[in-house]
Structure 1
Amino acid sequence: MGARKAGHSSQGSALARQDSVEAVFAYYGDLFMRPMAQGGFTPLVNVGEAEAFRQLLGDVIDTHLDTRSDEGERRILQHARVELTATQQAQGSGDLVRRLVNVCTTLLALPGVRRGGQWASSRLMAGHLAQVTRYLARSEADHDGRTLDERIRSRLLSFLHEDRPTVVIAHSLGSVVALEALHHYQGSIPLLVTVGSPIGMRTVVHPRLLPQPPATPNCVHRWLNFWDRDDIIAPRPRLERAILPNAAGCLPLTDRVDSDGIWVHTATKYLAQASVAGPVMEALRLRAAGDGGPG
């Protein structure tokens, strides 16, 4: 739909059929599964993980309090802040996790979060958000000693082909994964698109990125970053203020999109925007014309 809005109807149809390009989805959600986990929420297992998650929620709440003027939204955020402060008196990881799930219940009342389907419950919301802190913990090693974040980056890199240019679209935590993984990539990325990115979160995400200080990978020629005001995961969207340029001077360029307010965080919601899909289709067209087809 976004390609059609941007005037690339035929290219969009060809992309869906994979007539001229290879489109792949680098899925790594299975790597977050823990043995004996029940339901859609994989519980935090220790106080350290829960504390990092508490800090992440605090960054989300405080940033939205700084940027939102609607009184109803501010009341919701202020209530969530009071609940979050109360978590500091929690006894043990189990009590802390329960209180943090209650904070997520409050945040679900925000516009753009309360309606729509991906987070049907506060436990599911907490489970998804906690994936960010679990990735950045650099722990959960497998029997070969590879930490969770290493395995996720390896999964992403396995989908890239250094013998041909590749356009990368990275969503949410995927933007963190892509930023780190592409520093180890020797191929060419003519366009990196990030949507709903938490990279700019100052407390939990930005200071834990590798390498430090965070910079655009040298393989990236152009980086476009998009955010929606109602996207709770992208509270500090201006990544150009948080990322250093690469050797060629490339920095992320941020633009805002406005969806219909019904669960705006999904990648499909972003890609339905002409301003997001248009540059992607143009990059694919240029690379196909010059190189016989990008990945």
Structure 2
Amino acid sequence: MRPALVFIHGIGGARDPETERGSWLAALATGARKAGHSPEGSALAQNGFADTAFAYYGDLFISPHAQGGTASHVEAGQDEALRHLLEELIDTQLAICPDDGERRVLQHARVELTGTQQAQGSGDLVRRLVNVCTTLMALPGVRRGGQWASGRLMAGHLAQVTRYLARAEPDGDGRTLDERIRGRILSFLDDNQPAVVIAHSLGSVVTLEALQHHQGPIPLLVTLGSPIGMRTVVRPRLRPQPPATPDCVERWLNYWDRDDIIAPRPWLERDVLPNTGGCLPVSDRVDSDGIWVHTATKYLAQASVAGPVVEAIRFAGERLSA
């Protein structure tokens, strides 16, 4: 038996799990080589270093009523939570943004967001929130990064955070959306197999909750661009309260980029309690090249991220063979 390496994605549209697994592995291999682990980097690129899986749950967000069955949407009743999420993102960026042009875009979006408080009805509020997202798409990193084709798509993808935390949208068996997503994640984990888990964006929120129900060893949990510390929308809605490191986690490394607008409060050790073994997240900043830095592959290609992952897989393998 080899250790497992499990990738858990964040917000976004439909993905092909095998394609995503390949791109995440390739990025991690690049980072491993930068960290001085060339043999392991080559093994990672060939999927020969660990039992690797891409835990895909994005299909669970797809509305059967959406055009073509593929578009994300803002659920009725979740528009106010999305407003608060956008407010925290904008206010955090305004506090740190030195560029006058970007500040003007953010200030315009903030004025539009203030106007949503006078919106009449849920449909009007959703339209106004889409307008705010359309304005935010004028930010250089968002526009040139090509992450979203429209403000409506951006709003729908960001709303995946609030939809998960709403604990609603039950299926025919009464299982809510968040339950189904956690169940999907846990299906990729084996209690008898140590697993290094890498969770990105919303995936870090899902993983934090799912691992509370996992009994197997997690030698290393890595979170990338995590919104766990968002104090108006995410942190107060996490379960259980107060948020704590799952007992199965032996080490937790959290990475953030200053230009990552999805991780506005990155120092997770300030917002998460230690587990019974004393494990707390340890946060570290990275500086990625390029315009849109929130993508998981940008983080994985960093030596400071890939190096500890390689070492954790190696040590887990040695424990298995001892």
TM-score bucket (shorter structure): over 0.9
Query: CA–CA distance in 2 between the matches of 1:113 and 1:55?
Result: 20
Aligned to 1:43: 73
Q: Distance in 2 between matches of 1:135 and 1:282?
A: 33
Give, in angstroms, the shift of residue 12 of structure 1. Answer: 1.8
Distance in 1, Cα, partners of 2:53 & 2:37: 20
Q: Does 1:83 align with 2:112?
A: yes
Does 241-250 or 64-73 show the bigger shift?
A: 64-73
Please say if residues 209 and 239 of structure 2, whose CA atoms lie closer than 8 Å, have aligned partners that are also in contact.
yes
Query: Aligned partners of 1:217 and 1:155: how far apart in 2?
Result: 18
On the 8 A contact 1:230/1:261 being kept in 2, the answer is: no
Deviations 1:66-107 (A, max 9, x none): 222332222221111100011112122222111111111121
For the residue of structure 1 that corresponds to 2:221, the secondary structure is strand
Give the TM-score, by structure 2 length. 0.87
1:68-147 map, 5 Å: 68-147=97-176
Q: Which residue number in structure 2 is paired with residue 164 of structure 1? A: 193
Out of 208, 227, 231, the residue aligned to residue 202 of structure 1 is 231
Aligned to 1:285: 314
Unpaired stretches in structure 2, ≥5 consecutive residues: 1-29
User: Once the two structures are superposed, what CA deviation does each residue of 1:134-162 show, in whole Å capped at 9, x if it has no partner?
Assistant: 00000000000000000000000000011
1:133 Cα offset (Å):
0.2
In structure 1, C-alpha distance between the alignment counterparts of 2:211 and 2:269, rounded to whole Å: 17
1:59 maps to what in 2? 88
Contact 2:73–2:157 (CA<8 Å) still a contact in 1?
no
Indicate the percent of aligned positions where both proteins have the same amino acid.
74
Q: Deviations over 1:247-288 (max 9, x none)?
A: 111111111111123211111111011111111111111112
Shift of 1:292: 4.3
Cα distance in structure 2, aligned partners of 1:225 and 1:135: 21
Counterpart residue number, 2:178: 149
Q: Does 1:231 align with 2:260?
A: yes
RMSD over aligned Cα atoms: 1.5
1:179-258 to 2 correspondences below 5 Å: 179-258=208-287
TM-score (norm 1): 0.95
Shift, 1:201, TM fit: 0.4
Aligned partner (choices 205, 208, 224) of residue 176 of structure 1: 205
Contact 2:199 2:224 (C-alpha < 8 Å) held by counterparts: yes
Alignment partner, residue 3 of structure 1: 32
Return the alpha-carbon distance in structure 1 between the equivalents of residues 321 and 293 of structure 2. Answer: 35
Question: Counterpart in 1 of 2:9?
Answer: none
CA contact (8 A) 1:26 1:156 kept: yes
Aligned counterpart for 1:25 among listed residues 51, 54, 64: 54
Whether the aligned pair in 2 keeps the contact of 1:135 and 1:148 (CA below 8 Å) is: yes
Q: Is the 1:20–1:288 contact (alpha carbons within 8 Å) kept by the matching residues of 2? A: no
Give distance in 2, aligned partners of 1:97 and 1:292.
55
Aligned partners of 2:63 and 2:71 also within 8 Å:
no
67-76 or 234-243, which moves further after superposition? 67-76
Q: What is the distance in 1 between the residues matched to 2:182 and 2:146?
A: 28
**Residue by residue, what CA displacement relative to the aligned partner does 1:212-258 show, whole Å, maximum 9, x if unpaired?**
00010111111000011111110111101110111111111111111
In the alignment of these two chains, the number of paired residues is 292
State the 1:124 CA deviation.
1.8
Cα contact 2:182–2:210 (8 A) shared by 1: yes
